[in-house]
A and B are shown apart, each in its own frame.
Chain A
């Protein structure tokens, strides 16, 4: 659906994007993360054909943009971070213009559908100059949806929205994905990426540092895993036995719970559970304390670059 191969963008001496290889599958929601200046926007601009790559190729729907420029453009919907609208138009006129541009079948019905979905139908006859930031963002999303694209490229889709608006957009993203639409989402709101995306790519200083599904990514980034074990009865012998296991880094007792930090080389839950049972203990619950995407993001971009690099080299 979307594939970049050896993509490079250089501005004089600055390498904004360096050897980027991304492959987004059909029906996938791909989260594209990175701090400011990481090269995300430059990448998106190259995907859209608005910036010419210094090197490398981009394929959308199996074709390069120049091979079928207009057909590819009709199948892509793009939402940018900031909404630049024709403020002398009403919402209805604005969408009517884009529906005509994309040659949408039955445009009036489609406009009503998308405006209703985004709670803007009652405001359709108001001039866009009077729209709030959040309303403009939602109208931008309506514009993206009006021609029913197969691939949605969303740059900060929920910025400037209130929690209700964020939920509306999130629902729209999930509904569209359920219909088989592919999404490429760049966002700073990591909780949103974590909720919606199947796979995440993390970029820093022009390079793709990590690309994986959420679970694997978190595991790769963790040097240790924190397990929270609730026991029926806390016994010193059991606690000491756990502490002495070779894969346990540290252990803390917190009320009736034991927090165990294990090495991240493997899943040690079964080992611990067996050990406790063998000593007559009863496990009431055992959970893994997950690394949030935010923690993973910070870890990747700030601290553990070498970890990933070594991992990449080793593999």
Chain B
């Protein structure tokens, strides 16, 4: 008998339990509230600008606040993903689950589905929130706004996949969170360093170590842009905002392939690490 129907049933059952658990999680509501607060501050600055200048020229004024909100939700879910498997392994409940009809593929996919559905739910809440904001402020909402909102879910999959991979590797929740935060800090540090060095005025007298550092960091930045899931999200959202369909499709395919690779690696890592504490 094919394993697929069994796996789908297992995925659905575990996802359902995890979603219920998510609904009772305070962190979810804090992350969404924080996203709302950031969006309100950004929109307020637009409104103030209109009040002061009488005019504001932005194609999709709500796209930027939505981008911040999406990044916050994605970051929160990435953190949750990074803890999801390792926490259960740490608590011992993973072992009990694997006494039953659960295998590594169905388990990893259940964890991924749970986070993806939560992400989709958050985006729906965001849409309702921004609809209210648009009605209250008369700021326009175009098709790119909706496309950005809906496609963010797919683009965010790589962030969730990234968290799940780290969680598969670690035995304890604390380890996976530290690993996740360290990598995020590393990605942003490289980004920041490249930005700083890009701003340096170069002359023939510029010290050679600085030139070397810039060259190395530029290569590192190129590499991290293919590793960091936040870059996949950023590139995809940018493609939507600039309205380039070809670029967007390419970015979407890249993100989905990357997510597939992360989940595949997660299953392998999970099998190697085992289910025991």
B21 and A82 contacting across the interface, CB-CB below 8 Å: no
Which of B17, B21, B92, B275 is within 8 Å of A50, CB to CB?
Answer: B275
On whether A97 and B17 interact (CB within 8 A), knowing A84-B96, A103-B9, the answer reads: yes
Minimal beta-carbon separation of A27 from chain B (angstroms): 22
On whether A84 and B13 interact (CB within 8 A), knowing A45-B276, A50-B276, A101-B102, the answer reads: no
| Residues of chain A from 18 to 73 with CB closer than 8 A to chain B in the complex | 45, 48, 50-51, 68-71, 73
Q: How far is the CA of A69 from the CA of B105 in the complex (A)?
A: 13
B95 and A98 contacting across the interface, CB-CB below 8 Å: no
Minimal beta-carbon separation of B102 from chain A (angstroms): 7
B100 and A101 contacting across the interface, CB-CB below 8 Å: yes
A69 and B13 contacting across the interface, CB-CB below 8 Å: no
In the assembled complex, B99 has its CB within 8 A of some CB on chain A:
yes
Which of B3, B92, B101 is within 8 Å of A82, CB to CB?
Answer: B92
Interface secondary structure of B, over-half rule:
helix
Q: How far is the CA of A48 from the CA of B102 in the complex (A)?
A: 12
A84 and B91 contacting across the interface, CB-CB below 8 Å: yes
Kindly list chain A residues whose C-beta atoms are within 8 Å of the C-beta of B14: 101
Kindly list chain A residues whose C-beta atoms are within 8 Å of the C-beta of B10: 101
Kindly list chain B residues whose C-beta atoms are within 8 Å of the C-beta of A48: 98-99
Minimal beta-carbon separation of A155 from chain B (angstroms): 11
Q: How far is the CA of A91 from the CA of B20 in the complex (A)?
A: 16
B13 and A101 contacting across the interface, CB-CB below 8 Å: yes
Query: Interface size bucket, B side?
Result: 20 to 34
Q: How far is the CA of A86 from the CA of B97 in the complex (A)?
A: 11
In the assembled complex, B140 has its CB within 8 A of some CB on chain A:
no
In the assembled complex, A100 has its CB within 8 A of some CB on chain B:
yes
Which of A69, A70, A85 is within 8 Å of B93, CB to CB?
Answer: A85
Kindly list chain B residues whose C-beta atoms are within 8 Å of the C-beta of A45: 276
Across chains A and B, which 10 residue pairs bring their CB atoms closest together, nearest first? Answer: A84-B92, A78-B99, A70-B6, A73-B101, A70-B101, A84-B93, A101-B13, A100-B13, A74-B101, A97-B17
Partner-B contacts on A (CB < 8 A): 45, 48, 50-51, 68-71, 73-74, 76-78, 80, 82, 84-86, 88, 97-98, 100-103, 143, 147
Given contacts A50-B98, A80-B95, 11 further A-B pairs with CB under 8 A are A68-B1, A73-B100, A76-B99, A78-B99, A80-B99, A84-B91, A84-B93, A85-B93, A88-B21, A103-B9, A143-B96
